[in-house]
Amino acid sequence: MNAQPHRKLAVMPGDGIGGEVMAATLDVLERLRDRHELPLAWDELEWPATDWHRRHGVMMPEDALDQLTCYDALLLGALGDPGPSSDPNRYLLPDGISLAPLLTLRKGFDLWACERPARLLPGAPQYLADPRAAEVDMMVIRENSEGEYVNQGGRVHRGTEREVATQLEVFTRPAAERLIRHAFERARQRAEARAQPRTFTRPDGNTAAAQVCLITKRNALPHWGELYTEVFAEIAREYPDVATHHELVDAACMKFVQCPWIFDVVVASNLQGDILTDLAAVLSGGMGVAPSININPDTRDYPALFEPTHGSAPDIAGQNKADPRAMMLTAAELLDWLGTEETVFARAASELRAAVAADLSAQTAGAVRSTDQISAAIIESLPA
Ligand code: IPM
Ligand code: MN
């Protein structure tokens, strides 16, 4: 028996395809748990969810954060329109209500870094024609606690011709410093973990095995853009082994399409990171295979939140069509997070990733497979 105290997860399927991809992922987690005797347990919660709102008038209980603090991590499927889109009478909430728990959890637990790795696994759809796009291997680290998402501002003279809306953005030096330092740390770790070294050119002509690219829109939004630029330069001096780079967000969008293989770690504001990570998800094969994690790299005092980049996909909800692999790859990130001090979690994570990769490379291009078929194939290819 394993004497380790159990890690406890709150499993929150949420809305739409969330339930389907979560069920598939739990099957896989159960297999891994049994095989490795992982000290892992979970509670499945009915909230946050639109259906909970239908029954209780709120997306989650008032004391949700208190109830969740006892968990080591939260695994969330998706929130939003529960679908099916074909049912015009379904219980549907404004986005601002159904998606609010995401932001409440991220902010309430101070999960200030959102990491979205984008690597094109062999067999995943490659949307760009240039063969070099197969080499995409980047990680976008998105500021997750402030910036454009502080939700401050308001509307006056509603509905009149004089109506005004303000939406404040807030950028603090401490948030910039911790985020950018984390980006450099990750860049180093990624370089160390890479089987095949990569080479990035530094301004002095020397090369480095890792790179961090800062994203701003400092030509039009100079206040925070310059703050971030200064903090980036200060912290970069502590990491002479890491190449640095800056892109304006609009140019970054262009280069993500034109030459995405030049990027390694990309660090961006909350909103700009949000937009770039939908694009990055497509570069790695689409939303169906794009994992995402919300963490506080400095502390385990609060649970981290693991939810794929995708949403509730109401157009395919309930039809056994959702790709569970983004959720599974997100669960692999979760196992890694839980396993920093325990190799057994890390082993389970790499087996899960290998099973997803094997499934991707075995799939016939263009073939349509159900959630159940994908999930059965992945379970099949896990070591017995
Ligand atoms: C995401 C989503 C959320 C975000 C929405 C649903 C609030 O798009 O996780 O990327 O903007 O962060
Ligand atoms: Mn998004």
Query: Per residue in 338-357, pLDDT tens?
Result: 987 668 999 999 999 999 99
**DSSP-derived secondary structure letter, 309:** S
Atom number of ligand 1 nearest to Cα 270: 12
Q: What is the pLDDT of residue 340?
A: 74
Q: Which ligand is nearest to the CA of 142?
A: 1
pLDDT more than 90, % of the chain: 94
Average per-residue pLDDT for the chain: 96
| 126-284 CATH pick, 1.10.3720.10, 3.40.718.10, 1.10.287.3510, 3.40.50.1100 | 3.40.718.10
pTM of the model: 0.96
**Is residue 1's pLDDT more than 60?**
no
Q: Whose CA is closest to atom 7 on ligand 1?
A: 99
Q: Whose CA is closest to atom 10 on ligand 1?
A: 274
- Both tokens of 245, joined, read 């780079």
Q: 1-117+290-384 adopts what CATH topology?
A: Isopropylmalate Dehydrogenase (3.40.718)
From the CA of 185, how far away is ligand 2's center (Å)?
Answer: 24
The span from the CA of 139 to the CA of 117, in Å, is 4
The span from the CA of 195 to the CA of 184, in Å, is 19
Q: Whose CA is closest to atom 4 on ligand 1?
A: 274
Give the residue among 331, 313, 325, 314 at the shortest CA–CA distance from 377. 325
From the CA of 272, how far away is ligand 1's center (Å)?
Answer: 11
Atom number of ligand 1 nearest to Cα 277: 10
CB 298 within 8 A of CB 163: no
**Is residue 315's pLDDT more than 70?**
yes
CB-neighbour burial class of residue 33 (10 A; exposed 0-12, middle 13-18, buried 19+):
middle
CB 144 within 8 A of CB 112: yes
Q: What is the pLDDT of residue 20?
A: 98
Q: How far is CA 257 from CA 108, 128, 136, 180, 380, in A?
A: 35, 7, 11, 24, 35
Q: Whose CA is closest to atom 8 on ligand 1?
A: 274
- Both tokens of 152, joined, read 């401050």
From the CA of 275, how far away is ligand 2's center (Å)?
Answer: 6
Sign of CA dihedral 51, 53, 59, 60: negative
CB 233 within 8 A of CB 219: no
From the CA of 105, how far away is ligand 1's center (Å)?
Answer: 12
Q: Which ligand is nearest to the CA of 311?
A: 1
The span from the CA of 102 to the CA of 66, in Å, is 15
CB 101 within 8 A of CB 60: yes
- Both tokens of 29, joined, read 């987690």
In this prediction, residues 168-190 reach a mean pLDDT of: 98
Q: Which tens digits make up the pLDDT trace of 104-157? A: 999 999 999 999 999 999 999 999 999 999 999 999 999 999 999 999 999 999
What one-letter code names the amino acid at 188? R
Quickly count: other Cβ atoms within 10 Å of residue 181's Cβ.
16
The span from the CA of 43 to the CA of 9, in Å, is 6
Strand partners, 14: 78
Domain map (residue ranges) of the chain: 1-117+290-384, 126-284
Domains 1-117+290-384 and 126-284 share a fold: yes
Q: Whose CA is closest to atom 11 on ligand 1?
A: 274
The span from the CA of 65 to the CA of 52, in Å, is 16
Q: What is the pLDDT of residue 366?
A: 81
From the CA of 140, how far away is ligand 2's center (Å)?
Answer: 12
The span from the CA of 211 to the CA of 289, in Å, is 24
Residues with CB under 6 Å of ligand 1 are 99, 102, 274, 309
Quickly count: other Cβ atoms within 10 Å of residue 137's Cβ.
19
| Region class of 246: left (phi > 0), else alpha (psi between -120 and 50), else beta | beta
Residue in 106, 145, 274, 276 to alter for ligand 1 test, most ligand atoms within 8 A of Cβ: 274
Residues 6 or more apart in contact with residue 129 via CB below 8 angstroms: none
Q: What is the pLDDT of residue 367?
A: 85
Sign of CA dihedral 126, 129, 135, 139: negative
In this prediction, residues 305-327 reach a mean pLDDT of: 98
Q: What is the pLDDT of residue 53?
A: 98
In this prediction, residues 50-78 reach a mean pLDDT of: 98
From the CA of 274, how far away is ligand 1's center (Å)?
Answer: 7
From the CA of 288, how far away is ligand 2's center (Å)?
Answer: 14
Residues 6 or more apart in contact with residue 121 via CB below 8 angstroms: 284, 285, 289, 356, 357, 360, 361
Q: Which ligand is nearest to the CA of 147?
A: 1
Per the omega criterion (within 30 degrees of 0), is the bond before 82 cis? no
Of residues 245 and 204, more confidence is placed in: 245
